[in-house]
Every structure is written in C-alpha cells, then in structure tokens.
C-alpha cells in the first residue's frame, strides 16, 4: 500500500511538472518552449506558417516566428534618405536605414533584421508587412517620447472590428474592443 502511494505521488508530481512546462501562461510574453521552431527563410514562409488562424493566434504565430531570429539593437537616431527624384522622403527614421541598406545589398527587411537586429520601429515595420498579407487591419502606434522622461517607442497593432492585438517586439497583448 505504501509503495502504491509513493508511486502515485511521484506519478502525479511528474505529470504536474510536465503540464506546467507545456502551458502557455498567456501573459503576452514569449515562452521559451516555443523557441523550438526553425528560423523562417522569408516573410512568405512566416505568413504561410500563420494563415487561417484567429487574430490572437496569428499575432502570437508571427511573434513565435520572429523570436527565432529576434535581436534588439539599440541605435543612435537614424536618418532620412532621398527618394528616386532626389527629394527627401518623410519616412520613419529606422525605415530609412534598412531601405538604404537594402538598396546597397539588395536584401529585404527580414534579411536585414536577421543580419543586424533592429530597433522597435524596424520590428514594427516587419509586423506590419506580415499583417498586410492577412485579412486583418494593421497600423502602428508611435510614442514620440519626452527627453529625460520617456524614450520614443513604436509598436504594431493588428485588428478586426471587435478586437485588436498589440505586437510590441516579442510581447503580444490582445483585447476585445468594448461595444
């Protein structure tokens, strides 16, 4: 009888540990267990990996693909570039550096981020490019920042008529829209 109780205790304890390791705690943060997937080769592969999912599932799927190569690189303020007509183009500062780099090396945003890492606005740009291939709405939130108080920041938003998800680098937070 005593052996059965000990065996049952060990079995239940082991089962509890196994289950706790497999649960997504839904706090919006990337869970290391999802890092088992391979690094996607293209934006098309990420979109394919995440098709036919709900808004929240798609957002988390995008994140799970991105974290396979995610690398935040803090950077000095970026600069603008000239468009084909020689005029300064008013674009996000981080967009300008990868656009210039892609012109020089003929690589896209995904490859640029894999090689160099990026700042928040570059990851936002990637999420918005991925989102644009879905049926969900896409937008960006830009926080200008106040010197000495709060740093500038940017993140992506994916949405439907009744819900939205905030994609902030590797943090996903989804909410319903109050009607």
Q: What is the pLDDT of residues 103-129, one digit of tens each?
A: 555 568 888 889 888 889 889 999 999
Q: In terms of Cα–Cα distance, which of 170, 152, 150 is closest to 77?
A: 152
Tokens 């540990």, located at residue: 17
In a domain, residue 28? The reply is: no
In a domain, residue 128? The reply is: yes
H/E stretch holding 165 reads strand 163-168
Mean pLDDT of 15-33: 49
Each residue of 44-82: pLDDT tens digit?
999 999 999 999 999 999 999 999 999 998 765 343 333
Kindly report the average pLDDT of the chain as a whole number. Answer: 76
In a domain, residue 10? The reply is: no
Label the pairing between strands 137-143 and 153-159.
Answer: antiparallel
> What is the extent of the structural domain holding 129?
35-176
Structure tokens that stand for 82 in this block: 């000239």
In a domain, residue 100? The reply is: yes
Tally the domains of the chain.
1
* pLDDT value at residue 46: 95
Asked if residue 8 has pLDDT above 90, the reply is no
Each residue of 124-167: pLDDT tens digit?
999 999 999 999 999 999 988 888 888 888 999 999 999 999 99
* pLDDT value at residue 116: 83
Asked if residue 38 has pLDDT above 60, the reply is yes
Highest mean pLDDT among 33-47, 80-94, 152-166: 152-166
Is-contact 44 62, C-beta < 8 A? no
- Residues contacting residue 127 through CB under 8 Å, at least 6 positions apart: 62, 66, 138, 156, 158, 167
């Amino acid at each position: 009888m005593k052996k059965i109780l000990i065996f049952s205790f060990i079995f239940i304890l082991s089962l509890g540990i196994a289950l706790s390791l497999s649960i997504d705690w839904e706090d919006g943060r990337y869970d290391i267990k999802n890092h088992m997937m391979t690094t996607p080769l293209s934006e098309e592969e990420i979109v394919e990996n995440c098709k036919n999912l709900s808004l929240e599932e798609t957002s988390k799927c995008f994140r799970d693909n991105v974290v396979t190569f995610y690398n935040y690189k803090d950077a000095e303020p970026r600069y603008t570039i000239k468009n084909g007509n020689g005029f300064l183009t008013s674009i996000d500062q981080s967009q300008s550096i990868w656009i210039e780099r892609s012109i020089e090396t003929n690589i896209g945003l995904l490859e640029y981020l894999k090689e160099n890492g990026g700042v928040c606005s570059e990851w936002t740009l990637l999420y918005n490019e991925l989102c644009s291939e879905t049926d969900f709405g896409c937008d960006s939130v830009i926080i200008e920042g106040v010197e000495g108080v709060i740093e500038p920041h940017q993140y992506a938003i994916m949405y439907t008529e009744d819900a939205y998800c905030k994609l902030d680098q590797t943090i996903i937070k989804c909410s319903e829209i109050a009607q």
